[in-house]
Structure 1
């Protein structure tokens, strides 16, 4: 029974390592205590088959953090197989020296080394214990379950050296294959990402050039109008018609001056954005908002040279945030979008806020896929934004409604900070 308790304890610790959870919460202590009690209660009935119960408890424990059954099964199977490697190594040494005490010592040492290895890999790399593709996760979970059942049933819980050795080889081969498949999966994802990044970059560059051309044409028109205004003013001055000049100014020049001031946003600050894709997204979206007669403001005090997150994900996230702000403001006389980038010591903060002109539902409702205040077949923006933030560990999204203002604050941490 002591061995079962020891194995169960190490399984939960390894689960914490794979989940990259360093802090101990009340739930963790309570769950382990309850699990040990349940295992003790059913041990007399299940005997050595209590291992199945332990695996089930590990799945439940992982599900508490991941909220996904296929991912939870994969995590439970992975830690179980890693633990079984330590168990088989300790069993082989125990059979060789015929000492049960030596087994407990070796098992504890191997499990401790395993925990250190898992924590090191998870904290120093971006490797995850599962895939982003749900179909692939379900297939992997099923295969791992089959391998686990085969090893358990083939041993028959008899400590025969040849069976233990052969199953150890199977476990090591399976772990090796999983690492190879995961590596190929990452390479495939990386290739798709590079292609998508290039496509997005081309779209952004095209949009950027179109906006530059539009502003250039607007400048040419303004210069032409400005020349005509100077000619008309000159005629009033030549004839000393100051009353006519004043009337002309109030009727023709003052509205143009007010419109120029109202539509102005800080192009000088945008020039401080050195990341081309980010600048392209901001420039194109803010320019479009301006063309829709939305008052737009942008603020950045120091150059944004680089970012420490997936650039494509950040582009898409900012695009969604700005699109939502534009959609909420367009058509309203008081529509206004405030945007800014704050470069702090350990993070870069992207802030976007817009006026609210209607009663909004709860924020959790807005993040549901397919839900929109604008009608059917819309509302994928905030849901997609949440998925992007969830898959980037150094991204934090804060969404608030403060009176008549909808505020979104996207923080990109420069140094990964794990709990």
Structure 2
């Protein structure tokens, strides 16, 4: 094989792998991949011909998946899809050149000047679009999605093998190149339709789930209001009996017994009752019904667990510049984490503040916590959690959601025994 063809092939593949991934390759990664490319192009090709691309891609894809394990499926898809687009561009170039009578072995510098910038742009645009989809939609790797994408990749491999076998037998006349172009374009269109269908189905199911969760939370919220009303009636009805129970201590002049009775029997009931009433009253300023329902359910759950809860919503809030499904998911994760973490403390407490400044809204969730031997700066990384191994998907999901917005910022603070999550949404 001529040296310029080897160099051109290596450069083409390096453009592919450097421009079509969810992350950037460093110098060491490029050296490893270049070594794999040289080994396969120079040696393996001598034994199995053009089919060398299959073991070459298999090894390099495994290496890329090792470098970024949490994005393995996205990177496999990006490499295969981008490579297919590059093959289409390359075949189009050869098709045009064969018609006008240009020889690649002679005019290869012109080929590099024309095709390589196109390769770069195609890979970059494909990667950028897929990363946008990845950030906007947290697509779970369900068995259905894995089967569909697996079948799509198998189809791609079959097309590659068929194209290689036909090209080796018939060469690259215009008719073969044109057929190959049509075949690859059909595959690209099919893959695009598959991805679009998966994204549409996910968004539809997510909206249905959000509406169902909002309805369930609203039902729970209405149930809590009804229970609060019943508690008020019971409290008023039992007030006289409570006073009569105190009379005995007063008549006996047993102030110590009265104080003990009040602290153990009367105060806990009245305190919990007042806290529930206070939560309902303060939520009056929140006019986003799905968020109001969620917060009410979470706070009352925390109160049942004997967690001290402070809620602050001073101004009326009826609009937030963020999808309600995403906002509910984020605040739900914040509150779940806060409730779980503070229960380890001697005096568990949670402070929730929603602050409005013009059109900007800030959510602050603050809870007591016990510091553990982990790197809190890495919270939000998949698998990193204060809850133990194989946890940490909550804050990772939060960061994934936030990455889809340009007007949302999350900050984390941990000091003086308090863990604080801030979510700032700009109007």
TM-score above 0.5:
yes
CA shift for structure 1 position 89: 1.2
Quick one: distance in 2 between partners of 1:183 and 1:28?
Answer: 32
Instruction: List aligned pairs for 1:177-326, cutoff 5 A.
Output: 177-224=190-237, 260=270, 264=275, 267=280, 269-300=282-313, 302-307=315-320, 311-312=324-325, 314-316=327-329, 318-323=331-336, 325-326=338-339
Q: Secondary structure at the match of 1:43?
A: helix
Aligned to 1:121: 129
> Mind listing any 5+ residue stretches in structure 1 that lack a counterpart?
236-240, 374-378
Instruction: List aligned pairs for 1:158-173, cutoff 5 A.
Output: 158-173=171-186
When structure 1 is superposed on structure 2, of 159-168 and 184-193 the one drifting more is 184-193
Q: TM-score, normalised by structure 1?
A: 0.72
Shift in alpha-carbon separation, 1:332–1:301, aligned structure 2, 3 A: same
CA shift for structure 1 position 291: 3.4
2:12 aligned to which of 7, 12, 22? 7
Q: Secondary structure at the match of 1:159?
A: coil
Shift in alpha-carbon separation, 1:296–1:11, aligned structure 2, 3 A: same
Aligned to 1:95: 98
Shift in alpha-carbon separation, 1:70–1:123, aligned structure 2, 3 A: closer
1:111 maps onto 2:116 in alignment:
no
Shift in alpha-carbon separation, 1:393–1:144, aligned structure 2, 3 A: farther
CA shift for structure 1 position 198: 2.4
Aligned to 2:64: 61
Q: Secondary structure at the match of 2:68?
A: helix
> Mind listing any 5+ residue stretches in structure 2 that lack a counterpart?
1-5
1:36 maps onto 2:34 in alignment:
yes
Q: Secondary structure at the match of 1:156?
A: helix
Aligned to 2:3: none
Quick one: distance in 1 between partners of 2:425 and 2:156?
Answer: 35
1:145 maps onto 2:160 in alignment:
no
CA shift for structure 1 position 292: 3.8
Q: Secondary structure at the match of 2:12?
A: helix
**Deviation string for 1:218-249 (max 9, x for gaps)?**
3334445667899999x9xxxxx9x98x9999
Q: Secondary structure at the match of 2:152?
A: helix
Quick one: distance in 2 between partners of 1:142 and 1:271?
Answer: 56
CA shift for structure 1 position 181: 1.8
Quick one: distance in 2 between partners of 1:94 and 1:85?
Answer: 14
Shift in alpha-carbon separation, 1:412–1:178, aligned structure 2, 3 A: farther
Shift in alpha-carbon separation, 1:145–1:129, aligned structure 2, 3 A: farther
Shift in alpha-carbon separation, 1:214–1:167, aligned structure 2, 3 A: same
Shift in alpha-carbon separation, 1:29–1:186, aligned structure 2, 3 A: same
Aligned to 2:43: 45
What is the aligned residue count? 392
When structure 1 is superposed on structure 2, of 322-331 and 184-193 the one drifting more is 322-331
Quick one: distance in 1 between partners of 2:290 and 2:302?
Answer: 18
Quick one: distance in 2 between partners of 1:348 and 1:153?
Answer: 61
Quick one: distance in 2 between partners of 1:180 and 1:394?
Answer: 25
- CA-based RMSD of the aligned residues comes to 4.7
Shift in alpha-carbon separation, 1:361–1:281, aligned structure 2, 3 A: farther
Q: TM-score, normalised by structure 2?
A: 0.71
Quick one: distance in 1 between partners of 2:366 and 2:173?
Answer: 65
Shift in alpha-carbon separation, 1:280–1:120, aligned structure 2, 3 A: same
